A and B are shown apart, each in its own frame.
Chain A
Amino acid sequence: MASQVMRLSEAPQGKQLRIVDIVGGHGLRRRLMALGFHKDDLIERNSDALFGGPILIKNLNCDTSVALGRGVAQKILVEVLDGQA
């Protein structure tokens, strides 16, 4: 079913992803949680800004979009869901 765990910054675009863990410090985890990102949430990487800019993440659970810097995206671990649920 679920495939290997990777960083969100390396995850493919347009596929359903599941948040496995957030490995940042407390400040980052708190902030992401407040923005509605939790462990086990389903998300999708929608767009990338050019030149190493931020990536656009849509949280499919609560239907919010958030722009995340690459540094932040590196600290979110996800896995690709194969079957489109």
Chain B
Amino acid sequence: MARHEGPVIVFIGQPNSGKSTLFNAIAGPKAQTANFPGTTVSHTHSEVYFNGRVLRIVDLPGTYSLNPADPAEKAALVHLFKEAPDLIVNVVDASLLSRSLELTLELLETEQPMLLALNMVDLAEKKGIKIDREKLEVILGIPVVMTVANRGRGVKELLSRCVENLKNGSSPRAPSWTEEVEQVVDSLAKDIPENFCLVANRRFTAIKLIEAGDTFCHEILEEISQPLKKRVEETRHRLESLRHLPAYEVLAAERHHLAMKIFEAVAKVQRGRKVSAEEKLDSLLMHPILGYPLLLVIFFLFFFLIFFIGSPLEQLLLLPWTWLQSWVRGLSLSPLFLTLIDGLLQGLGGGIAIVLPYFLPLLFLMAFLEDLGYLARAGFLLDSLMHRIGLHGKSVAPFVLGFGCNVPAVVSTRILESPRDRFLTSLLIPFIPCSARTTVILALIAFFLGPWWAMGFYFFQLLIVALVGRLLTFFIREPSPGLMLEIPSLKWPSPKIILSKVSYQLRSFVQFAWPILIAGSLVLSLLQLAGVDVWINRALTPLVKGILGLPETLGVTLVFGFLRKELSLLMLLQALGVDYAQLPEVLSRTQLVVFTAFISLFIPCLSTVAIIWREISRKAALFSMLLNLVVATLVASLVRLIL
């Protein structure tokens, strides 16, 4: 940290208030964004140059209050106090101003330099809420800037107000409460001993001591001296007898009433306005009966669109590549050189012609659904299904992310409160067909057997997720906490943001996945030249030929699938020594399906295993590998029997 120069600015706010979108608008696409509460689970840093100054900006996970409930919220809080930011930017969803102000008031209690970014003002206006910015500035005593982060509006002003504030360094005053409550809190604040480690200031520390139940300051409370502990107990009793409510609720009610008062003073709510198109669409999407067929339709559309864009594109792109390949093979080169060039062409060409045509439309559609806010709705509709597999709807978020890539999905299990749910969810995530596996499914099954087969295959995979989940919960029994998930309002995605999201993901695909694909193909070529592949294949024969009924030569492709799933696809052609179009001549329909089923289910790819290892535990990672291997073998041999 010490090496860096420049003031630290942290973005903090309630989940889904657009902190990350604002962050990306300033720093370029770095943080993951979606219209779903809790997309950000860990902080993202960036250095920004503005008017010749370096600003270090930190995007924190969303938190509803400064009394955290899940690990992601706790991370936000710890960061807020450890980082000792020079300026806090409280990002607020203007359309939810009255509720969001409660966190703002809590932040003001720290009396640290602060600025309010009133985000999504366009949405608020659509909902008929008009906010008097100047008045809000006066009441809160901090600068207020209106922004529309997904359109990039207000971003420059926000930064210049930040710089201004850093220069004059003014700090706000903590808002004061009802006198009788204030007196009680104040007297505790005065009694905090001199040597006590204060958080922010005396009053704030006193408040946190009162509020801490089984959360945040629990550890601190354990450590404090006996007399102070008694004083805290006493203060709680005084508050409780004052309002006949638990002490922390007395304080929460103070903030709530203050927030309501401020909201009424600064906002004009227009009633009786007509229902917006988004709201109409929403009531349809969330309809208790129609919602389900619509979910299916969206799922179908998603799939078919990718296929109908991807498959002609693939055929088109394959043409020059096959031509190039046969041309190279016709040249009289030394065997080693030829092998290397062939491997290179396989890896590079496969990446461009076979993987990208499906991967690209998939990224676009995923980004669209994410930003629209459909994920939370799917979570709502599918909650009871999730219950059947022993999880609640909040796990839908990691699951849906898993369709893109399993790695961020495992990271996002941080939004789950209970360790049991985290463990279970991350064991199930590797069974979800990620974009790499979807590509394999589309390129092998849809391309050769038709889209309906691929669709069926996809459903089949989801069924397996449900079955495995059911089985796991049978062994790990423990009640899951009830569902409480905010459903954000539908937002029409901004094309600019979708584009930058897709290009960011594409860049990381080219940077990280492509080298593996090319290197893998090269290594296989060399192995083949040296004749080592035969040994690997021979060792795997009992599994590959005996159980799965596949050609012996495919053993080596399975081994490499551990690195990346698409690699198996490219290697399949290489190992069999055929062109893409000739595949049906050497593999039967059953063999194609068995191969795809095994590839997509067997041990999670290297990055997924690594992330489970890091995020959950070594035990979980090893168990996950074993579980996937067993399930893949069972399923693949079952497929072989049925087809």
Binding site for B on A (CB under 8 A): 26-36, 38, 46-54, 56, 59, 61-72
Contacts and interface: CB of A to CB of B under 8 A. Distances in A.
Interface stretch (B227-235, B444-452, B484-492, B621-629): B484-492
A49 B484 contact: no
Contact of A33 (B249, B287, B381): B249
B380 A62 contact: no
A49 B487 CA distance: 13
Main secondary structure of the interface of A (DSSP, over half): mixed
Contacts of B96: 36, 62-64
Given A47-B286, A61-B98, A65-B487, A34 B67 contact: yes
B286 A50 contact: no
Contacts of B376: 67
Given A50-B384, A65-B488, A72-B482, 8 more contacts: A47-B283, A52-B387, A53-B387, A53-B393, A54-B380, A63-B96, A67-B393, A68-B483
A7 B564 CA distance: 51
A32 B489 CA distance: 19
A39 B127 CA distance: 24
A65 B490 CA distance: 11
Interface in B380-398: 380-385, 387, 392-393
B69 A26 contact: no
A30 B286 contact: no
B64 A26 contact: no
B252 interface: yes
B99 interface: yes
Contact of B286 (A56, A71, A72): A56
A35 B249 contact: no
Contacts of B171: none
A27 B484 contact: no
B95 interface: yes
Interface string B314-357: 00000000000000000000000000000000000000000000
B302 interface: no
Interface in B248-271: 248-249, 252-253, 256
B383 A67 contact: yes
A32 B484 contact: yes
A28 B484 CA distance: 9
Given A31-B484, A69-B483, A49 B381 contact: yes
Interface of B: 64-65, 67, 69, 95-96, 98-99, 102, 127, 213-215, 246, 248-249, 252-253, 256, 283, 286-289, 291-292, 376, 379-385, 387, 392-393, 482-489
Contacts of A28: 482
- Count chain B CB atoms within 10 A of each CB in A52, A66, A69 and give the residue with the most: A69
A64 B99 contact: yes
A65 B385 CA distance: 21
Contacts of B384: 49-54
A11 B99 CA distance: 24
B384 to A, nearest CB: 3
A36 B287 CA distance: 24
Contacts of B253: 38
A49 B477 CA distance: 25
A51 B383 CA distance: 9
A49 B67 contact: no
Contacts of A69: 383, 392-393, 482-484
A36 B65 CA distance: 11
A74 to B, nearest CB: 9
Nearest to A36: B99
16 contacts: A30-B213, A30-B252, A33-B249, A49-B288, A49-B382, A53-B381, A54-B383, A56-B380, A65-B488, A66-B484, A66-B485, A67-B376, A67-B383, A67-B393, A68-B484, A72-B482
Given A33-B252, A54-B380, A63 B487 contact: no
B141 to A, nearest CB: 23
A52 B486 CA distance: 19
A5 to B, nearest CB: 18
A20 B95 CA distance: 26
Contact of B98 (A32, A35, A62, A65): A62
B512 to A, nearest CB: 35
B288 A50 contact: yes
B383 A53 contact: yes
Nearest to B289: A50
A6 to B, nearest CB: 18
Given A50-B384, A54-B380, A54-B383, A72 B67 contact: no
